[in-house]
Amino acid sequence: MGTDARTGSRERGDSPPADGSREGTTRRDMLRTAAALAGAGGLGMLGGSGIASAAARASIAAAPKRGGTLRAGVTSGSSADTLDPHTWLTNADGTRVYQLFDSLLAFDKNAQPQLSLAQEVTPNKNATAWTIRLRKGITFHNGKPVTADDVIYTFQRVLNPKKPLLGAANMAPLNIAAAKKLDALTVRIPCHTPFAAFAELQACYQYFIVPVGFNPKKPIGTGPFKAQSFTPGQQSTFVRNPNYWQRGLPYVDTLVISDYADETSQINGLISGQLDVIDSLSADSIAAVTNGGGKIVVSEGGSYTPFTMRLDQSPFNDIRVRQALRLVVDRKQMIKLVFGNYGQIGNDLFGLYDSAYDHALPQRTQDIEQAKSLLKKAGHEKLNLTLVTADIAAGSIKAAEVFAQQASAAGVTVTLQQVPVSTIYGPNYLKWTFAQDTWTYYPYLPNAQEALIPGGVFNECHVNDPAYNKLFKQLAATTDPKARTELTHECQTREYNGNASGYIVPYFQPEIDATSSHVHGLTPSKTSNPFGGFDLASIWLS
Partner 1 sequence: MALRRASPLERHPLARLVLGRLVVGIGTLLVVSILIFYATEVLPGNAAYAILGHNASAQEVHVLEVELHLNRSTIAQYGSWLGNMLRGNPGMSLAASLPVWTVVKARLINSAVLALVSGLIGTLIAVGLGVVAAARKDGKLDNTLSATALAVTALPEFVVAIALVMLFATIVFRILPGISVLPPGTYAWQRPTLLVLPVASLAIIIVPYIFRMTRAAMIEALESDWVEMARLKGVPPLRVLARHALPNALAPIIQVVALTFLYLAGGIVIVENTFAYPGIGQGLVNAVTTRDIPVIQFIVLALAAFYIVVNILADVAVLLVTPRRRFPR
The footprint of partner 1 (CB under 8 A) covers: 78-80, 87, 89-90, 162-166, 168-169, 229, 231-235, 237, 256, 258, 260-262, 264-265, 268-269, 271-275, 291-292, 422-423, 425-429, 437, 457
The answer to whether 97 touches 216, Cβ cutoff 8 Å, is no
The answer to whether 504 touches 68, Cβ cutoff 8 Å, is no
- Cα–Cα dist 444/106, whole Å: 16
Nearer to partner 1, 82 or 116 (CB): 82
- Least Å distance between CB 171 and partner 1? 13
Task: Phi first, then psi: give them for residue 278, nearest 5 degrees.
Answer: -135, 160
Nearer to partner 1, 251 or 439 (CB): 439
Strand partners, 503: 308
Nearer to partner 1, 7 or 258 (CB): 258
Q: Which long-range contacts link 86-89 to residues 24+ away (Cβ below 8 Å)?
A: 86/157, 86/158, 86/165, 86/166, 86/167, 86/206, 86/207, 86/208, 86/210, 87/165, 87/166, 87/216, 88/166, 89/166
Nearer to partner 1, 160 or 413 (CB): 160
- Least Å distance between CB 271 and partner 1? 4
- Cα–Cα dist 367/351, whole Å: 25
- Cα–Cα dist 417/206, whole Å: 33
- Least Å distance between CB 156 and partner 1? 16
Nearer to partner 1, 260 or 403 (CB): 260
- Least Å distance between CB 419 and partner 1? 9
- Least Å distance between CB 163 and partner 1? 5
- Cα–Cα dist 97/103, whole Å: 11
Angle between helices 50-61 and 23-47 (to 10 degrees): 120
Q: Strand pairing of 277-281 and 69-74?
A: parallel
520: three-class secondary structure by DSSP: strand
- Cα–Cα dist 48/108, whole Å: 34
Provide DSSP, 199-260. HHHTTSSS-B---TT--TTS---SSSEEEEEEETTTEEEEEE-TT-SSTT----SEEEEEE-
The answer to whether 306 touches 450, Cβ cutoff 8 Å, is no
Nearer to partner 1, 262 or 369 (CB): 262
- Least Å distance between CB 367 and partner 1? 33
Nearer to partner 1, 28 or 163 (CB): 163
Quick one: how far is CA 50 from the chain centroid? 37
Nearer to partner 1, 137 or 273 (CB): 273
- Least Å distance between CB 243 and partner 1? 27
- Least Å distance between CB 207 and partner 1? 14
Nearer to partner 1, 155 or 342 (CB): 155
Q: Give the number of other CB atoms < 10 A from CB of residue 37.
A: 13
- Least Å distance between CB 177 and partner 1? 19
Nearer to partner 1, 112 or 206 (CB): 206
CA distances from 7 to 98, 113, 472, 480 (A): 15, 11, 31, 24
- Least Å distance between CB 74 and partner 1? 11
Strand partners, 239: 226, 254
- Least Å distance between CB 475 and partner 1? 23
- Cα–Cα dist 247/134, whole Å: 17
Nearer to partner 1, 69 or 355 (CB): 69
